């Protein structure tokens, strides 16, 4: 919308300039002196340089802003992906740790039960051996 308004204003000013230019031309002397022409040329060149510098500055600003926005968007996207990966890794580690804990606990219980049974059997065997006379 903003560009359309600028374009319409530019076209209106250009049309007005083209309509008024012949009327201004009649008030000028038919052959300008060399000094006035060179002086005016220098002024025009200065204005053209100024306008070109402004246009360049606006273009650089627009490009910089666009690059900043794209970089910001890419950074946010990378952050979100990294965050999701970290959460997944955390969950996998947590699950693996629980499995290892339960397996270790179960193995320890089995080993303790076997040791207890073996010890109990050895104690019973020692008691039996001490009751019987040796031959």
Where in the chain are the domains?
Answer: 73-115
Q: Is the pTM of the predicted complex or chain greater than 0.85? A: no
Cα–Cα–Cα angle for 29, 31, 13, rounded to 5 degrees: 60
Residue 22 pLDDT: 61
Residue owning tokens 């031959």: 135
Residue 1 predicted with pLDDT over 80: no
Cα dihedral: 60, 66, 72, 76 (round 10): -170
Q: Please write the tens of the pLDDT for every residue from 71-85.
A: 888 888 888 878 877
Q: How far apart are CA 124 and CA 119, in angstroms?
A: 9
Cα–Cα–Cα angle for 114, 118, 121, rounded to 5 degrees: 140
Could you tell me how many helices (H) and strands (E) the chain has, helices first?
2, 0
Residue 32 pLDDT: 53
Residue 48 pLDDT: 92
For all residues of the chain together, what is the average pLDDT?
78
Residue 51 pLDDT: 92
Q: Please write the tens of the pLDDT for every residue from 100-131.
A: 888 887 878 787 787 877 777 777 776 776 67
Q: How confident is the model at residue 47 (pLDDT cuts 50, 70, 90)?
A: very high
Residue 50 pLDDT: 92
8-state DSSP, 32: -
Cα–Cα distances (Å) from 76 to 64, 79, 84, 88, in that order, read 18, 5, 12, 18
Q: 124 is written with which tokens? A: 């019973």
Q: Please write the tens of the pLDDT for every residue from 19-33.
A: 766 655 555 555 555
Residue 84 pLDDT: 77
């Amino acid at each position: 919308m903003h560009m359309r308004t600028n374009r319409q204003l530019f076209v209106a000013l250009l049309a007005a300039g083209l309509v008024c230019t012949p009327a201004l031309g009649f008030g000028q002397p038919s052959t300008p002196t060399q000094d006035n022409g060179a002086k005016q040329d220098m002024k025009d060149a200065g204005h053209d340089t100024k306008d070109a510098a402004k246009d360049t500055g606006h273009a650089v600003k627009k490009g910089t802003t666009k690059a900043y926005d794209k970089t910001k968007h890419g950074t946010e996207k990378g952050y979100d992906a990294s965050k999701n990966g970290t959460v997944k890794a955390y969950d996998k580690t947590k699950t693996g740790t629980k499995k290892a804990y339960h397996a270790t606990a179960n193995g320890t219980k089995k080993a303790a039960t076997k040791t207890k049974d073996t010890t109990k059997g050895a104690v019973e065997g020692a008691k039996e051996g001490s009751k019987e006379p040796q031959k």
